[in-house]
Amino acid sequence: MLWGPEGVMLYNDAYSGFAGGRHPELLGSNVRKGWPEVADFNDNVVTKGLAGEVLRYRDQELTLHRNGVPEPVWMDLDYSPVPDEAGRPAGVICFLAETTQRVAAERRKAFLHGLSDDLQGLTTPSDIMRMTADRLGKLLSASRVFYAEISNGRMTVERDYASGVTSIFGEHSLEAFGPDLLAAYRIGTPVVVRNVETEVRLSSDARAGLRSREVGAFVDVVLFEETQWVGLLAVQSATPRLWTEAEETLIQEVGERIKVAIERARAERDRLWDLSQDMLARADYSGMISAVNPAWTRVLGWTENELLTRGYTTFMHPEDAAATLTAIAEVAAKREPARFQNRLATRDGDWKSIEWTVAPEPDGINFVAVGRDLSEAKAREAELEIAREALRQSQKMEAIGQLTGGIAHDFNNMLTGVIGSLDLIRRNMAVGKLDRVEKYIEAANTSAQRAAGLTSRLLAFGRRQSLDLKTIDVNALVAGVEDLLRRTLGEQIILVTHLASNLWTATTDANQLESALLNLCINARDAMPSGGQLVVETANTELDERYTRDYPELQPGQYIVLSVTDTGVGMSASTIAKVFEPFFTTKPVGQGTGLGLSMIYGFVRQSGGHVRIYSELAQGTTVKLFVPRSHGTVAVKSAPTVTIPHGAGETVMFVEDDASVRLIVAEVLAELGYAAIEAVDANRAIPILESGQRIDLLITDVGLPGLNGRQLAEIARKVRPDLSVLFITGYAQNAAVRAGFLDEGMDMMTKPFAIDALATKIRHIIGN
């Protein structure tokens, strides 16, 4: 009975037994103060009971201190108001039946049933330990639960459940338990400690050690295999606790089930150990192997005894040992798995490539390793690579055949014009007929210029042309050729330009970009035989990593986009896939070389840009050129020089292995008033450069036999630091982009070149 607002307690003999060590102090006390650990619960009961309410609880769990330590208790509780003489509620009567034993038994049966089912699905001791510790810790509201393996006087904890306390994962000495507890453990009975501070079996050192680990009470169940102590299941409380008989029984049953499950998992592991085709091992960081499975002998030929009695480094290839030991050391330091490859010696003197996965063990001394023989995989890779290389060679030869056939066809046409014109000039001059010579010279020059243009497109396609990368205004470039485009397109095609008002400057070769624009517009014109509209647009854009991920040569960043869109016949997907291939053309034979788009593609990619084509049949085509943005300013062009500048007796050294080119340049130098020194190659040029002879300018071909022109220039600069250099190139892989090839005081010209251009360039260099 709880009487009055204070809830004064009156109870019968049965309740005094339920109260345990708190009787008789509870009799006549205020219920809130008598049971302070459940004061809120009892306050609610008194308040609602005096208000006339009836309360009913079934299997209500409360933690009570009945014998000086907290313990979970389950009860059925019925509360009813008791009226006074006036009929008003003056107290609350409670009928209480403790159900702790029944509830605990039901929960224990359900827990063990579920645990057994779930343990069947686990295959590794660590998983078994982790799951059991977590579930048991939560069921018993424990502070820490762990399963430890016992071996050689030490206790190893792989996993533990810790709630509000620190983990004790790792290895510990059994000596810390003290002799009395160790003796109890070896008997095999559970060790139950309700209060660490008052337990007489604990030495002062053991008590201090438990206190440092926040252990106030514990139940330890020892596990044996035959007569050998092999395991320990520990359930700990951070504060003193009255362990019930049911809890002790449950912990002991769980311990036995853990042992059985671990034995089953180890038996399965041993079976897999023997049957595995992979090499399995346990080794230590000092260099010795302690266990190997039969796969080692199958793969390498060494016996188990040979493998266990020699350090594992003695089996490693000398070139792989250092890297392997470094990887193993990182596993020890980081306590994380690692993967690597090495080569191990076989018993018959061969080497096997092995891929390893290595993981640390909790003891900090050993690690486990799984090795897979890569010999067959590498052999298959080698066979596949041979097949790929054969395919690449076949494709390369087919491409070369297509390339050389196309070049030969076009060059034969052009050479016919040159040779035929020269032959006619010679015939006419022999008989004194000079009136038609000028016509033949013009025809030869036209054919030669066509050949030069074809060579330029070939170099652009192969990304081997010499680019003069500068900061340019793309809008100005488009505006500068707009009149030419209108005349080229004809009256049936409407040209529209949309030029961005805030367009960035670009880094590219202005001449090549202009040529690319003209090519695209001519292609668009040919795709609109009945007329249509052609739109040239410029815009700023930024390409992010998601876009450039599909294009390895393209870097994320800011670009200027030059687009050409037509309303022509369009292209199919198969045509678009081939459109950048050399000599591929949709035009009739004789109406195109098929190098236009491949030249554009090569030039733009060499500039660090990108090309995209969008097209649909009968809908038209859009080609977009992405050119890298420049943060510089556009250079102001100087007025062109009208007259051909002559020299004033300066000395020019010219190094060229082609006799015809050397003859022409020597004649030009003499005609322009320069003193010329000729050399066939670098070996003949170096002694002259190292002499005291006056040399105002070095002109050298880049592609010399032996030392190339760039190397010759470096040697010349060592003895003549201020010497100006002019490179002449027809094909120069190392001179593909001038900005990365030329130093201060150097310049470049591309073959073929006009005499006037050569004279102007020489005078400009010497004058500066």
Q: Are residues 200 and 145 in the same domain?
A: yes
**What CATH code is carried by the domain that includes residue 661?**
3.40.50.2300
**What CATH code is carried by the domain that includes residue 249?**
3.30.450.40
What is the crossing angle of helices 100-119 and 245-275, to 10°? 0
Q: Are residues 151 and 247 in the same domain?
A: yes
Q: Which of 583-587, 732-736, 743-747 has the weakest average pLDDT?
A: 732-736
Per-residue b/e over 14-50, b at no fewer than 16 CB within 10 Å? ebeebbeebeeebeebbbbebbeebeeebeebbebbb
Q: Last residue of a domain, which of 205, 233, 266?
A: 266
Alpha-helical segments (H) within 343-468? 375-430, 437-461
Residues 513-540 have pLDDT tens digits of 888 898 899 889 989 999 999 999 999 9
Q: Decide if 91 is inside a domain.
A: yes
Provide the domain count of the chain: 6
Alpha-carbon span 350 to 138, nearest angstrom: 56
Q: How confident is the model at residue 360 (pLDDT cuts 50, 70, 90)?
A: very high
pLDDT at 18: 94
Q: Decide if 503 is inside a domain.
A: yes
More confidently predicted of 245 and 661: 245
Edge-to-edge order in the sheet of strand 279-284? 289-292, 279-284, 366-373, 351-360, 338-345
Q: Decide if 457 is inside a domain.
A: no
Q: Which residues pair with 339 in a beta bridge?
A: 357
Q: What is the mean pLDDT of residues 710-721?
A: 92
Q: Are residues 507 and 560 in the same domain?
A: yes
**What CATH code is carried by the domain that includes residue 604?**
3.30.565.10
Q: Decide if 330 is inside a domain.
A: yes
**What CATH code is carried by the domain that includes residue 341?**
3.30.450.20
pLDDT at 733: 41
Q: Which residues pair with 280 in a beta bridge?
A: 370
Alpha-carbon span 559 to 631, nearest angstrom: 11
- Tell whether pTM > 0.85: no
State the Cα angle at 501 between 497 and 503, rounded to 5°: 95
Q: What is the mean pLDDT of residues 745-758?
A: 78
Residues 190-218 have pLDDT tens digits of 899 999 999 999 988 889 999 999 999 99
What percent of the chain shows pLDDT beyond 90? 44
pLDDT at 591: 44
Residue 59 scores a pLDDT above 60: yes
Q: Last residue of a domain, which of 324, 358, 373?
A: 373
Q: Are residues 420 and 361 in the same domain?
A: no
pLDDT at 45: 96
Residue 312 scores a pLDDT above 80: yes
Alpha-carbon span 254 to 146, nearest angstrom: 12
Alpha-carbon span 568 to 223, nearest angstrom: 87
Q: How confident is the model at residue 370 (pLDDT cuts 50, 70, 90)?
A: very high
Residues 253-264 have pLDDT tens digits of 998 888 888 888
Q: Which of 63-72, 86-95, 398-407, 670-679 has the weakest average pLDDT?
A: 398-407
What is the crossing angle of helices 596-606 and 510-526, to 10°? 150
Q: Which two tokens stand for residue 440?
A: 């033949």
Alpha-carbon span 541 to 560, nearest angstrom: 6
Q: Decide if 447 is inside a domain.
A: no
Residues 531-577 have pLDDT tens digits of 999 999 999 999 888 888 877 778 899 999 999 999 999 988 888 88
Q: Are residues 248 and 331 in the same domain?
A: no
pLDDT at 82: 96
Q: Residue 537: which of 555, 523, 521 has the closest Cα?
A: 521
Instruction: Determine the structural domain holding residue 393 and report its residue range.
Output: 379-437
Q: Are residues 9 and 24 in the same domain?
A: yes
Q: Are residues 484 and 625 in the same domain?
A: yes
Q: Are residues 668 and 761 in the same domain?
A: yes
Q: What is the mean pLDDT of residues 278-287?
A: 92
Q: Are residues 607 and 707 in the same domain?
A: no
Q: How confident is the model at residue 319 (pLDDT cuts 50, 70, 90)?
A: very high
Q: Are residues 683 and 624 in the same domain?
A: no
Q: Decide if 529 is inside a domain.
A: yes
Q: Last residue of a domain, which of 235, 266, 297?
A: 266
Q: Are residues 204 and 303 in the same domain?
A: no
pLDDT at 468: 72
Q: Decide if 305 is inside a domain.
A: yes
3-state secondary structure (DSSP) of residue 341: strand
pLDDT at 584: 58
Q: Decide if 608 is inside a domain.
A: yes
Q: Which of 4-13, 74-83, 628-637, 729-738 has the weakest average pLDDT?
A: 729-738
Count of helix runs (H) and strand runs (E) in the chain: 22, 28
Q: Average pLDDT, whole number, for the chain?
A: 85
3-state secondary structure (DSSP) of residue 255: helix
Residue 738 scores a pLDDT above 60: no
Residue 274 scores a pLDDT above 90: no
CA 624 to each of CA 130, 339, 500: distance values in angstroms, whole numbers, following the listed order: 60, 45, 15
Residues 592-645 have pLDDT tens digits of 444 557 778 877 888 888 898 999 998 999 999 999 999 887 765 554 544 566
Q: Are residues 325 and 193 in the same domain?
A: no
pLDDT at 466: 56
Q: How confident is the model at residue 732 (pLDDT cuts 50, 70, 90)?
A: very low
pLDDT at 409: 54
Residues 499-510 have pLDDT tens digits of 999 999 999 888
Alpha-carbon span 694 to 30, nearest angstrom: 120
